Amino acid sequence: MTSNPCIHWLGAGLSSGPGIAALARRRGNVVLWNRTGEKARALVQTIGADEGLSVETLDFERLADRVAAGDVVVSMLPGAFHVRVAKLAIAADAHMVTTSYLNPEMMALDGEARAKGLVVLNEVGVDPGIDHLFAQVLVDAARTAGQLAGGHAVSFQSHCGGVPAVANDFRYKFSWAPLGVLTALRNPARSIRDGVELRTEKAWTGVEDIDVLGETFEVYPNRDSLGYVAEYGLADVADLQLFVRGTLRLPGWKAAWADIFAAVEGGTDASLAALSERLWRDYSYAPGEQDRVVLYVSLESRDAAGGSWKASLSLDETGTGWQTAMARTVSLTAQVAIGAVLDGRLKPGVQAATRDPQEAKRWLAQLVDDGINIDAENVSLQ
């Protein structure tokens, strides 16, 4: 292994700048790989982090030649590339990190990664990412307080959304290609409501109002929440009344998107691609326009005598330029995770963000140092 492992960051998109700058400052030896070298060099010039940071035009054969044992390869490319990048990293005896959701294709690499002592780390952005860290801290606090024992009805909710800081007629703006948002609307979702499983076939049929952080938002269930019951350490709770991971939107979003839902329901791959291009043209962020990321995670327990306990963790960030709220919350979390990999604090294998509440607190403390404001109710981050 090299004495100063190289961090190969793939992708100079809108969610990369703050994390790259932090890594160049803290770790050095960062190479930014991008399909368009000019775009990567423009980002480096914008963030002013040229020390400890170099740029290469992305070519997978050249990348494979450059990656050495002990390096970390970070994929901020479209999701279809992540497994390819992971295989390249493992072949070079290097670690791999991505902010995207873990999937079965990636999990199939677990045995090989473990055998080589390598970490293939997923879900280390904001959602998924910081939401997982919040959940681990809250569940640990509840368990320590005896709030997950028999006789307690437990409710857990985690809601996150990236929205325009100033509402527009569409009630939304896109930080990256809209196609991913459109196709995700087709995904069915599972959650627990009133103690029983609830399945939502289409995202927009599950929209409801929710009051968090002193505001009313619209929220719909995000994918399959039930897979995270065990991940968050709640599989042994006898009376789990509510468990849902949701996507937050501004009030009025469902009405503003009525035509979009109809297009998604009856659309083809080609028609959705065309719609994505139009939406990007009409509703992407303008230069200097502020975005906003809201994340709220809470856990509540009630006993048979009517007593209650509740704790929550939340953030509400705004930003602009190369330091948008989405870029900061996603890429700064990734750079914290990369540090954990390089420092040997994670076990080998394919995995999502840490399950260890103390390690989660350590990640959150660094995010606070990096300027992310986290509000804690009835729970300590120390």
Q: Any idea which residues carry the catalytic annotation? A: 127
Residue 150 identity (one-letter amino acid): G
Distance CA 189, CA 200 (A): 5
Distance CA 175, CA 325 (A): 10
Would the CA dihedral through 121, 130, 370, 325 be positive or negative?
positive
Would the CA dihedral through 161, 128, 179, 74 be positive or negative?
positive
Would the CA dihedral through 137, 143, 149, 152 be positive or negative?
negative
Q: CB-based contacts of 321: which residues, under 8 Å, 6+ apart?
A: 46, 287, 288
Would the CA dihedral through 104, 109, 111, 117 be positive or negative?
negative
Q: In this structure, are residues 327 and 119 in contact, taking their beta carbons and an 8 Å threshold?
A: no
Q: In this structure, are residues 375 and 313 in contact, taking their beta carbons and an 8 Å threshold?
A: yes
* Residue from 77, 233, 53 nearest 141 by CA: 233
Q: CB-based contacts of 283: which residues, under 8 Å, 6+ apart?
A: 168, 170, 172, 173, 174, 178
Q: CB-based contacts of 230: which residues, under 8 Å, 6+ apart?
A: none
Distance CA 28, CA 21 (A): 9
